[in-house]
């Protein structure tokens, strides 16, 4: 019996040591990891590297707070969900809206690519909500040893508003599940302007439609847009891709829609093309422009990056602001 009791006691001591090791040593870093997880939402023009720093070519001295962003009907609102956490953190990424069926939400994982001396988020893969993630993404990657120090991962949340949705506000959240829930909320404002639908059964370059606040039915001919990839280099400012669509508009050319959504830059091109489609529709309904090609205000805004080279990539958001205010 004594020998049996000694064996039980030895086993109990070993089990106790294992328990204290797991709870006293391992649980502390896990708890700290959960406490130190941070999630923030940025505009589509603010990209972050794997180490929590905004890309130098996109950096804003005062980035826009994405608390109540606006979206036109039949248009997209795209934001970066940036999560920073200590090494060893594991978490789930969720998205949701309230009411749940007003907006269409898509979540894309952003993959980092080499750009210059660093890394830029570029390629996208659509994810289901919830999406599991960890920091770092890969341990001891021989091809990219610097990524072993990764502290930040990012997702692109793509939001689409249906064309027949009445103007209203919808709560949208990015949620991180660690030991607790961490919520990054937005109040998305669905505005009256409607991005024209490009249809195959409309002929001629004219814009047709009625009062967009009552019956949002505005269509453009197929010739009003072309399908073509037209993106800037990944190491250029993210606004450089949007600027291409703005300059096409000012030159009297039709917008270009990307054939598919594969990269962050494809999303930026699509959103800018939607802005220019909206500008075309507003222009056709605005008799004060007369024979003028495009809005003079947009011509002035297009010069901002040249007049102020140190300006960050979010200068393009002023173009979108003008179009939304003009219609509203």
Q: Is residue 169 situated within a structural domain?
A: yes
284 pLDDT tier (thresholds 50, 70, 90): confident
List, for residues 22-34, the tens digit of each pLDDT value. Answer: 333 333 343 344 5
Residue 131's pLDDT is what?
87
List, for residues 78-125, the tens digit of each pLDDT value. Answer: 999 999 999 899 999 999 999 999 999 999 999 999 998 899 999 999
Pair (159, 139) in one structural domain: yes
207 pLDDT tier (thresholds 50, 70, 90): very low
Q: Which domain holds residue 311?
A: 194-327
Pair (55, 82) in one structural domain: yes
Residue that terminates a domain, selected from 142, 160, 192:
192
Residue 16's pLDDT is what?
41
Residue 302 has pLDDT above 50, yes or no: yes
Pair (186, 40) in one structural domain: yes
Pair (179, 204) in one structural domain: no
Residue 62's pLDDT is what?
87
130-145 as b/e, with b when 16 or more CB fall inside 10 Å? ebebebbeeeeeeeee
Residue 201's pLDDT is what?
36
- 292: nearest Cα among 284, 281, 302: 284
Pair (218, 138) in one structural domain: no
Residue 296's pLDDT is what?
83
Indicate the range of 177-186, 258-267, 268-277, 292-301 predicted with least confidence: 292-301
- How many structural domains does the chain have? 2
Query: Are 220 and 281 contacting, i.e. CB atoms less than 8 angstroms apart?
Result: yes
- 35: nearest Cα among 185, 180, 183, 184: 180
Q: Is residue 41 situated within a structural domain?
A: yes
Pair (323, 220) in one structural domain: yes
Pair (44, 173) in one structural domain: yes
Residue 14 has pLDDT above 70, yes or no: no
What is the Cα–Cα distance from 86 to 30, expressed in whole angstroms?
9
The CATH number of residue 156's host domain is: 2.60.40.10
Pair (270, 237) in one structural domain: yes
Pick 143 or 74 by higher pLDDT: 74
Q: Is residue 12 situated within a structural domain?
A: no
Residue 199 has pLDDT above 80, yes or no: no
Pair (98, 113) in one structural domain: yes
Pick 69 or 200 by higher pLDDT: 69
Pair (184, 41) in one structural domain: yes
pTM score above 0.85? no
Pair (220, 184) in one structural domain: no
309 pLDDT tier (thresholds 50, 70, 90): low
Pair (83, 106) in one structural domain: yes
List, for residues 131-179, the tens digit of each pLDDT value. Answer: 899 999 877 677 777 888 899 999 999 999 999 999 999 999 999 999 8
Residue that terminates a domain, selected from 175, 192, 209:
192
What is the Cα–Cα distance from 159 to 62, expressed in whole angstroms?
24
Residue that terminates a domain, selected from 192, 212, 238:
192
Kindly write down the DSSP assignment for every residue of 147-189, as one continuous string: GGG--EEEEEEEEEE-TTPPSEEEEEEEEEESSSEEEEEEEEE
Percent of the chain clearing pLDDT 70 (strictly above): 78
């Amino acid at each position: 019996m004594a020998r049996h009791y000694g064996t039980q006691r030895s086993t109990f001591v070993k089990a106790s040591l294992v328990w204290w090791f797991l709870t006293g040593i391992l649980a502390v870093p896990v708890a700290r990891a959960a406490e130190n997880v941070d999630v923030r939402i940025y505009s589509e023009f603010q990209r972050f590297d794997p180490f929590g720093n905004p890309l130098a070519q996109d950096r804003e001295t005062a980035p826009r707070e994405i608390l109540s962003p606006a979206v036109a009907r039949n248009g997209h609102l795209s934001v970066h969900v940036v999560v920073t956490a200590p090494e060893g953190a594991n978490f789930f990424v969720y998205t949701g809206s309230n009411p749940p069926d007003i907006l269409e939400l898509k979540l894309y994982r952003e993959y980092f690519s080499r750009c210059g001396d660093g890394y830029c988020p570029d390629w996208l893969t659509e994810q289901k909500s919830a999406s599991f993630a960890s920091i770092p993404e890969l341990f001891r990657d021989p091809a990219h040893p610097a990524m072993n120090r990764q502290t930040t991962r990012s997702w692109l949340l793509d939001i689409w508003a249906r064309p027949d949705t009445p103007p209203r506000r919808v709560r949208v959240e990015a949620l991180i599940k660690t030991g607790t829930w961490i919520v990054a909320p937005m109040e998305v404002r669905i505005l009256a302007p409607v991005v024209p639908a490009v249809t195959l059964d409309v002929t001629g370059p004219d814009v047709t439609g009625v009062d967009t606040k009552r019956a949002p039915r505005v269509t453009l001919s197929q010739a009003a847009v072309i399908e073509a990839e037209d993106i800037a280099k990944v190491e250029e400012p993210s606004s450089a891709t949007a600027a291409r669509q703005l300059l096409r508009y000012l030159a009297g050319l039709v917008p270009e829609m990307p054939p598919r959504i594969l990269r962050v830059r494809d999303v930026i091109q699509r959103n800018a093309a939607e802005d220019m489609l909206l500008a075309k529709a507003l222009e056709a309904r605005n008799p004060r422009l007369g024979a003028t090609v495009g809005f003079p205000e947009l011509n002035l805004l297009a010069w901002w990056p040249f007049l102020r080279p140190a300006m960050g990539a979010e200068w393009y958001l002023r173009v979108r602001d003008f179009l939304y205010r003009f219609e509203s």
